[in-house]
Structure 1
Amino acid sequence: MSKMEKQPKLVTCKHCGEEIAAGAKVCPKCGGKNKKPIYKRPWFSVLVVLIVIGAIGSAGGKNESSNTVSNENNTTTNDNVADSKDSSQKEVDEEISYTAYDVSELMDDLKSNAMKATDKYEKQYVELTGRLNVIDSSGKYISITPVDDEFAIMGVQCYIKNDDQKTVIMDMSIGDTIIVKGKITDVGEVMGYSLDIDEISK
């Protein structure tokens, strides 16, 4: 018994409808070209795979970039907070240095040249020795004048900041010679000097 020859696979010509061999590129009857659809060609499958891989890679890169930027922003914020804390700590750690004066020296400078006195004393930390001249009844401030001038009216108005300072002042009397440490906040030719008290003692 002879071997049966394999029949070639047949397809329908998309132009004339006749059956033709699957591998035929041209229909023998009408001459129409019978190419495989583009999505059935091998190179199309390869192209789709490459596009998918590229899309995945691109998405991963964006996330990585976003994470990097986020991490950099967090690092910058943390650094700024740390710098701020360090700066505050330095201010606390640094001891304030007070320059010692007699109140009479401040008043002489003010009478001589108020603008020069402002430049010299305003915003400065000072230790003043003077005569207690006024004690405010509501406990907001005291005033000190030169020790050697009992009749002086203008001097340094010193503002009380806490109850501890009030307690110290409660044991003082007008005419006492006292020492006040603090920061001069204002200088005026009419009102004299203003100071925020840090420490006060006899």
Structure 2
Amino acid sequence: MPPARVPPDATASGHGTRLSPAKVQRLRNLLSPYDTVIVPGLHGSGPDHWQTRWQIALASRRVTQKDWEEPVYETWVAGLEKTIHTCRRPILFIAHSLGAVLVARWAQSQSGRGIAGAFLVAPADVETATAPERDRIYGFHPLPRTPLPFPATLVASRNDNWLAFARAEDLAAAWRASLVDVGASGHIGGTSGLGAWDAGLDRLTRFVRALPDGTSHRPTSA
């Protein structure tokens, strides 16, 4: 199969930063055995968010929810599973904030079959976050404390009011996820000044390269 071509607008960003076309092409080739699924958090990751840029660049699926502003855990699980059921190859989640918590909680009742891994960026701490909107996500508590049934990386910032770094360390240990420290990067979202987050693409590439061969396991059909 020839390498997938990068769409012409895939490397652009509303913030003026760009993804490296060469990096995108290499990563798309690495991701060819998988279905990548973008899982946004509260507010749904708008057009300037790195998740949206990556969705275009990597030709990914994206979870949609009925209500991005007042999240209900059971409804969000249904939205996640609806997207999962469209996948036919091993799934790689790329999740941010409350989306990362959604994946981690959903995984507690799963065997891990059909899931290649999860790239979890700045999981929202539904228990101790100091962010002004923390009450909106209370229904997603408690945070799971058992190992995830698939490989995972947790990416955390040193000045995130949704997730203290010490809590990120605890969660990574509990989930048996590798921990990536990106320094003072806020909530690693649309207001963090990251643009398309080219450095994050490097982190994702390293994670994908380290994955075991997952091509022999496919998602369970709906």
TM-score of the alignment, normalized to the shorter chain, above 0.5: no
Higher relative contact order (CA 8 A, sep 6+): 2
Higher helix proportion (structure 1 or 2): 1
Instruction: Return the index of the structure with the highest Cα Rg.
Output: 1
Normalising by the smaller structure, the TM-score range is: under 0.3
TM-score of the aligned structures, taking structure 2 as reference length: 0.23
Relative to the length of structure 1, the TM-score reads 0.25
